[in-house]
Amino acid sequence: MSHSFVPSPNVASIQESATIAVSQRAKALRAAGRSIIDLGAGEPDFDTPPFILEATKAALDAGATRYTAIEGILPLREAIAADATRRRAGRGELPVTAGEVVVSTGSKQSLQNATYALFGPGDDVLVPVPSWVSYFEMVGLSRARAVGVPGDPKRDLKVTPDLLRAAATPATKGLMLNSPSNPTGAVYDAAELQAILEVAAERRWWVISDEIYGRITYSGTAAPSVLDLASSRDQLVVVNGVAKAYAMTGFRIGWTIAPRALSQAMTALQSHTTSNASTPAQYAALAALTRTAEADAALAVMVTEFRARRDMALDILREGVPALELVQPQGAFYLFFKAPGGDGTRFANQLLEHEGVAIVPGAAFGTPEWVRVSYAAARPDVEQAMRAIVRQWSA
Ligand SMILES: Cc1ncc(COP(=O)(O)O)c(C=O)c1O
């Protein structure tokens, strides 16, 4: 066996995604015969709506098996641009065009394209903490510096203009936003988002807004988008995809809406990495975005079930642990709370070993005192897991 591999500086400090690591540990225990409830997952436990599967099969039968344009098929980019134009209505600006949309292999690639094309050595990028696992690594891969900005515990761990200003330096070039948030489920309301966009505009920061959970909310309306609020699109990158709202994680389709010059740079980058996103999956996404009545009905079923699980989980936790410090989740499908003794890693390990329940230690998101529980699992499993959490709390 050869032992000659020395990681290049490009990857020397990269960490495997911690959320995936927990799922793998849970799978290994299950393979060893233990009964495990996995609340570590970041994907809806629903099946992709059948109309999307049918559209995918029809596209394959019609020959959707070849390369497409690097930036994606035109009708899909047009559908994305048309929706963005609707959100910008009434501002008297030019419509969003398909030329401002790049379709990629999951919104993960969209985020990577954007960070890589925008940031480089010498740049600082503000990342609100807790943060989804990959932002720090993506900014690091672009050789810029990710600067964590701890959110305010009194405001569901959200950042404010003052916190951002205090963390900024003359090297600050951009800001990562994610609402609804993974891992907290918190949602920035329109006023909060607007205030942040104003600071970004005043400082000329690029804003990359990851809105992948935008339609999974419990208020009855979609979460506010930077598209609804920003005074200009000049330094805005909106990232979205089909994974969560349409239960299409495996299709791997995401996109950016960004100014034309940046979109061209991201297309050039993608032309040397993955080329176009999978062709049949692009047609699947087209069906999801254009057959809105069917898509909305499927989404409503999913969100109704998520809400019921969230409410049940909160009831059990609040009753069993009255002093629980917890973010009030308004979107996505996560619960985020402070672990007993302020040690999220110890609590997650204890829960997995003693109760067979997998959750994600908050260290994965830059907040080691906390833990994340995903309720994208069958309701009886969520219930059983919450009771296990209460039992272990005082164990
Ligand atoms: C906040 C956030 N952004 C992006 C992604 C990546 O989604 P995709 O499957 O579209 O790559 C995830 C997936 O877990 C996520 O939680």
CB 107 near ligand 1, within 6 Å: yes
312-339 per-position pLDDT tens digit:
999 999 999 999 999 999 999 999 999 9
Helix (H) or strand (E) holding 107: helix 106-118
> Is the residue at 1 inside a domain?
no
Residue 128 Cβ inside 6 Å of ligand 1? The answer reads no
76 Cα–ligand 1 center, Å: 19
Q: Do 157 and 77 fall into the same domain?
A: yes
Average pLDDT, integer, range 292-304: 97
Distance CA(243)–CA(253), nearest Å, equals 7
Q: How far is the CA of 168 from the centre of ligand 1 (A)?
A: 26
Instruction: Give the pLDDT of residue 25.
Output: 81
CA angle 297/244/81 to nearest 5° reads 80
What count of residues does the chain have?
395
Q: Are residues 163 and 117 in the same domain?
A: yes
Residues 320, 105 contacting (CB under 8 angstroms): no
Give the C-alpha distances (Å, rounded to integers) separating 382 from 185, 209, 312, 393. 16, 30, 9, 16
pLDDT in tens, 196-213: 999 999 999 999 999 999
Q: Residue 83 contacts by C-beta under 8 Å, 6 or more apart in sequence?
A: 289
Beta bridge partners of 38: 358
Query: Same domain, yes or no, for 286 and 305?
Result: no
Q: Give yes or no for residue 304 having a pLDDT over 90.
A: yes
Mean pLDDT to the nearest integer, 173-190: 98
HSE, side-chain direction, 13 A CA sphere, residue 167: 24
Q: Are residues 32 and 95 in the same domain?
A: no
267 plus 303 within the same structural domain: no
First-to-last CA distance in the chain? 45
Indicate whether 85 and 23 sit together in one domain.
no
Residue of 107, 179, 249 best suited for mutating to test ligand 1, as the one with most atoms within 8 Å of CB: 107
pLDDT of residue 228: 94
52, part of any domain: no
Q: What average pLDDT score do residues 262-269 get?
A: 98
Say whether pLDDT at 1 is over 70. Answer: no
- Determine which helix (DSSP H) or strand (DSSP E) holds 344, and give its type and residue range: helix 344-355
DSSP letter for 12, please: T
Please give the angle made by the CA atoms of 304, 332 and 55, to the nearest 5 degrees: 70
Residues 39 and 166 occupy one common structural domain: no
Query: Within this chain, do residues 207 and 328 fall inside the same structural domain, yes or no?
Result: no
* Beta carbon of 243 within 6 Å of any ligand 1 atom: yes
Residue 74 belongs to what domain range?
A: 64-291
Ligand 1 atom 16 nearest Cα: 182
164, 212 Cβ separation under 8 angstroms:
no
Q: Report CA-CA distances (Å) from 358 to 59, 115, 150, 309.
A: 38, 31, 26, 17
CA distance 298 to 378: 17
Amino acid at 254: G
pLDDT digits (tens, 9 = 90+) for 14-56: 877 766 777 778 888 999 999 999 998 889 999 999 999 999 9
71-106 pLDDT tens trace: 999 999 999 999 999 999 888 899 999 999 999 999
For residue 335, tell me if it sits in a domain: yes
Question: Among the listed ranges 31-40, 54-63, 166-175, 246-255, which one has the minimum average pLDDT value?
Answer: 31-40
CATH number of the structural domain spanning residue 343: 3.90.1150.10
* Predicted local confidence at residue 42, as pLDDT: 86
- 284 and 305 part of one domain: no
State whether 284 and 317 are in the same domain: no
Query: Given 244, 272, 291, which residue is the final one in a domain?
Result: 291
Cβ–ligand 1 contact at 249 (below 6 Å): yes
Distance CA 242, CA 177 (A): 18
**Biggest alpha carbon distance in the chain?**
65
Q: What is the pLDDT of residues 100-158, one digit of tens each?
A: 999 999 999 999 999 999 999 999 999 999 999 899 999 999 999 999 999 999 999 99
Q: Which atom of ligand 1 is nearest to the CA of 105?
A: 11
Number of domains in the chain: 2
Same domain (yes/no): 286, 311: no
Cα distances (angstroms) measured from residue 392 to each of 43, 340, 355, 363, 367: 26, 9, 8, 19, 20
Q: What is the pTM of this model?
A: 0.96
Q: Is 178 in the pocket of ligand 1 (CB under 6 A)?
A: yes
For tokens 């607007």, name the residue: 194
Domain annotation covers residue 157? yes
Distance CA 22, CA 371 (A): 12
In-domain check, residue 311: yes
The finding on whether 108 has its CB within 6 A of some atom of ligand 1 is yes
Quote the pLDDT of residue 23. Answer: 73
Contact in structure between 132 and 107 (CB atoms under 8 Å): no
So what's the pLDDT on residue 300?
A: 97
* 35 found inside a domain: yes
Predicted confidence at residue 18, as pLDDT, reads 67
Beta strands in 48-167 (DSSP E): 101-105, 124-129, 145-150
Say how far apart CA 247 and CA 42 lie, in whole Å: 11
Task: Report whether residue 49 contacts ligand 1, using a CB cutoff of 6 Å.
Answer: no
In 190-248, alpha helices (H): 190-203, 226-229
> How far is residue 287's CA from residue 282's CA, in Å, rounded to a whole number?
9
DSSP per residue, 228-244: HH-S-STTEEEEEESTT
Instruction: Say how far apart CA 332 and CA 157 lie, in whole Å.
Output: 15
